[in-house]
Homo-oligomer: A and B are copies of this chain.
């Protein structure tokens, strides 16, 4: 989901990078060679031409916003920027981390829970995040064709990754009509559609974009 977000932004900005896969299912994020790049053992990682590595999808996306101002992923006015960033955080902070591999491991090893309960847990928390987004989107006058007006922003990128993750765990976003409408509008855009996990040549799971970032 996090690599999906970064791929969308790179597509929107027309930035290319050599992409390398890290198989989370096989635990490759814990390999010493990968930990040297990201001590947290998580994806995505963007390795710049000078060798520095950027981690955490929100930080990487804001890096592109800082270095590739077109198209803007945040509105110009500060309250609007706060609204877009808040919608993003509902997905990225309050949804996604609840379903990470380390949570799955804890549920299995420490709490003795199996696959079905991990899936139910994940549907629950991914759905709660979408419910939070829906509550704000349905209420706010700023909601337009997309989360904030009629251009895709950071919030839409996070919404799409959240809906995709939710469906991976068996959830359907029908209960969230504004979310569903915006997700469909986003998926009409090439930059979103081509970044989708299903559209990738191989690995449907963890993906790590890698150098050179021409924006670096």
By a beta-carbon cutoff of 8 Å, the part of chain A in contact with chain B is: 35, 39-40, 42, 48, 52, 54-56, 58-60, 62-63, 66-67, 78-79, 81-86, 88-90, 92-94, 96-98, 100, 102-103, 106, 110-111, 113, 117, 120-121, 124-125, 128, 132, 135-136, 138-139, 216
Interface pair A82/B98, CB less than 8 Å apart: no
* Cα-based distance from A178 to B55 in the complex (angstroms): 19
The 8 A-B pairs at the shortest CB distance, nearest first, are namely A39-B135, A59-B85, A59-B86, A40-B132, A56-B86, A93-B93, A63-B82, A66-B78
What are the residues of chain B within 8 A of A60 when measuring CB–CB?
82, 86
Most chain B CB within 10 A, of A56, A124, A125, is at A56
Contact of A52 among B79, B89, B90 (CB under 8 A): B79
Interfacial chain B residues near A96, Cβ < 8 Å: 93
Contact of A85 among B52, B56, B88 (CB under 8 A): B56
The distance from the CB of A196 to the nearest CB of chain B, in whole angstroms, is: 22
Q: Give the interface centre of A35, A39, A52, A125 by most chain B CB atoms within 10 Å.
A: A39
Give A77's nearest chain B residue, CB to CB.
B66
Number of identical monomers bound together in the oligomeric complex:
2
- A97 CB contacts on chain B under 8 angstroms: 93-94, 97-98
Closest to A45 in B: B86
- Nearest B residue to A135 via CB reads B39
Assess whether A117 is in contact with B121, with CB atoms less than 8 Å apart. Answer: no
Interface-central residue, A35, A62, A86, A139, by most chain B CB under 10 Å: A86
Q: How far is the CA of A136 from the CA of B48 in the complex (A)?
A: 16
Contact A89 B58 (CB under 8 A): yes
- CA distance in complex: A96, B110 (Å): 20
Residues of chain B within 8 A of A90, CB atoms compared: 40, 56
A107 → chain B closest CB, angstroms: 8
Chain B residues near A62 (CB, 8 Å)?
Answer: 81-82, 85
Inter-chain CA distance A69–B139, complex, in Å, is 31
Q: Which residues of B contact A111 (CB under 8 A)?
A: 111, 113, 117
Residues of B within 8 A of A124 (CB): 106, 110
